[in-house]
Amino acid sequence: MAFSFILLLSSVAAAFLLFIRRIRYRRMGLPPGSLGYPLIGETLQLIKAYKTENPEPFIDERVARYGSVFMTHLFGEPTIFSADAEMNRFVLQNEGKLFEGSYPASICNLLGKHSLVLMKGSLHKRMHSLTMSFANSSIIKDHLMLDIDRLVQFNLDSWSSRVLLMEEAKKARRKVAEELTVVVMKRRTEEEEGGERKKDMLAALLAADEGFSDEEIVDFLVAILVAGYETTSTIMTLAVKFVTETPLALAQLKVVNETLRIANIIGGVFRRAMTDVEIKGYKIPKGWKVFSSFRAVHLDPNHFKDARTFNPWRWQSNSVTRSPSNVFAPFGGGPRICPGYELARVALSVFLHRLVTGFRFTYLHMQDSIPLDRFQKG
């Protein structure tokens, strides 16, 4: 009896505190929404949704109830969730002025403390520019295109008659850090002994004024390789899935933008407000997280007709999209736009070209696999 009374009292107290908190936040001018349970917020609901075949209800339900900008509580911190294209652009363009990159501790541990994603200020600007300088269109055209084509053909030639794409896409990740450590140490020794200095990213990192250690360089390169490899391999896998399910798309291969739009490899980005920010009639308090969701915008029927249907022909004209250049952001934007976005597009295009000219597709509805049979050559 006493236990039941204590439980009832605790429930009433918790409900009262939630009510008081809701009123206080409303007076502060925050967006509508819910912070969920104490401490854990709505993190469990988000994780649960992404373990299902359709994670969209987490966003859909809240957008329908609160609008495209709402308040939630994720990964231990109060967060403003934006499914609004205009607000997302505002957040991205004001990097370093009103907002700064800030990710949950679990993501930071995975990326490494010297990752480009976690760098800030002048160091991030310098390292971002350095990274882009080795992956711009002229470098790709003059130096990388033949290598990309050669590597794609080499890996496709190694496939057997049946391929489990998800397994193939992740094989090369296992020993990256160890191999890079050996390369960095060897290159540093060669330069210290007066050897020929090469003109690549590693040479630029070794010669940087910041005096990066081997550990810092390896951490930085691993983060770039993992980010580029994981996202590119995943988008390639999904592109094969989509074109297999849409055979007519193979004739024209207008699938790159549509795959990027509907697959949403970068679902969104976290930022932290550096000061109180007012936007769209709401206030974002200093220190609060903001999650700009690209996925929510790309799958919004207000921007793309039949937004959740794979339709590569929508990119042939603007008749089926509404201001696509303003809302299409598969690689983010602003000062932190993915530095390898041009390289990713080229790699995907080369892969699809070689794939459709060398294989035929049979979709067997097997989980996580698309069996592929090579065309007979000669």
Q: Binding site: what residues are annotated?
A: 338
What is the rounded CA–CA span in Å between residue 137 and residue 323? 25
What is the rounded CA–CA span in Å between residue 78 and residue 81? 10
> Which whole-number Å values give the CA distances from 200 to 347, 349, 358, in the listed order?
19, 24, 33
Query: How large is the angle between the packed helices 43-50 and 57-66, nearest 10 degrees?
Result: 130
Q: Is 211 left (phi over 0), alpha (psi -120 to 50) or beta?
A: left
Beta strand segments in 53-142, E: 69-74, 77-82, 99-101
- The amino acid that residue 152 corresponds to is V
123: its two tokens? 């160091």
Question: Which residues are part of a known binding site for heme?
Answer: 338
Query: How many CB atoms are located within 10 Å of the residue 335 CB?
Result: 16
Q: Is 10 left (phi over 0), alpha (psi -120 to 50) or beta?
A: alpha
